[in-house]
Structure 1
């Protein structure tokens, strides 16, 4: 409906006060997947501290007067230390800025958002959490993969493919993980996917279990690799990242639900 979004101009949005920080999830890729509250924050912030996975097209929707500060972290590449990023948020807020911490996906889903919010709380800095669409949900949806289906699974496990050392998470009980749910969604797992597969197979997972690797989810260059758990040791080395990995039978619905193709990829908002 024409003018529909204009109705939000007079909506009673919460005040984005000077000296506060909003931690906002940008979604899995496409700029149109940010929430209404997140879009509002883009127009209110004095400074935006954004991650590597934030779409440049989304930043273009911000107030042009807002300062933009890159704080990206990508595996295997030079990255700013988390302690320095957190300190920057504190210093900006204490300088009276309205600070938007813009993070890919959801701030609390393997996004270090809780650590940043706890540091803000310790300094007495007011903050707001604006959830985002996680790639473990929205990214898979753009690949035609439902994370749950009542005919397949009543449980799903989300895990990260590396710990703070950069290695395979040592604290994970892989035997328990392998058998706890039919569907396992893995974030930041491409680098260690062969090692993870070996652990899951050793714990009893079927080598024929389907695996889908969704690279650049919800973007025009999205790519999906359909393989099996037993074949992961033959994966090519150049799988594009960021990527989300899903193990389990829900991948088979992609055969019917693969909707993000052709003209669907031509819309700049997603």
Structure 2
């Protein structure tokens, strides 16, 4: 069982929120999703690393979720804090950090039926798998 919390990825001034209780946010027993975190993803992961989160803690960076041009990047806190993200778009972004994200299957890896009404090139095998499952 995982606990998940949602936290804003930037303040009105554009940087990390200054009023976050980082000791509580960096709770190893929970996973955190930062919304609107594209510009601060590196700072967020650096802060998690500085607060003692293990370097191999999973991170998922997702842009344009639910859209035809969705983009997902899986890495770890240590890797992300060492380099810039290979994403240059300006779409909506969420950053997930924590053990729950180490167990995220892709649509192709999911063993149960998936609703494929929204088809994109990324979900091509989904249509084939669900038609065979019927």
* TM-score normalised over the length of structure 1: 0.38
1:122 corresponds to which residue?
none
1:178 corresponds to which residue?
26
CA 1:247–1:172: 2 relative to 1, 3 Å: same
Match of 1:198 among 39, 43, 46: 46
1:215 corresponds to which residue?
63
Post-superposition offset of 1:239: 3.8
Q: Is 1:242 aligned to residue 108 of structure 2? A: no
Give the count of matched residue pairs. 113
Residues 156 and 181 in structure 1, CA contact (< 8 A), matched pair in contact too: no
Q: Matched residues in 2 for 1:264 and 1:257: separation?
A: 9
Match of 1:198, SS state, is helix
Residues 183 and 250 in structure 1, CA contact (< 8 A), matched pair in contact too: yes
Q: Matched residues in 2 for 1:201 and 1:257: separation?
A: 30
Residues 175 and 200 in structure 1, CA contact (< 8 A), matched pair in contact too: no
Trace 1:151-162 onto structure 2 (pairs within 5 A): 153=2, 155-162=3-10
Residues 157 and 181 in structure 1, CA contact (< 8 A), matched pair in contact too: no
Select the structure with the greater relative contact order (CA < 8 A; seq sep ≥ 6): 2
Q: Is 1:254 aligned to residue 102 of structure 2? A: no
Larger Rg computed on CA atoms: 1
> RMSD in angstroms over aligned alpha carbons?
2.3
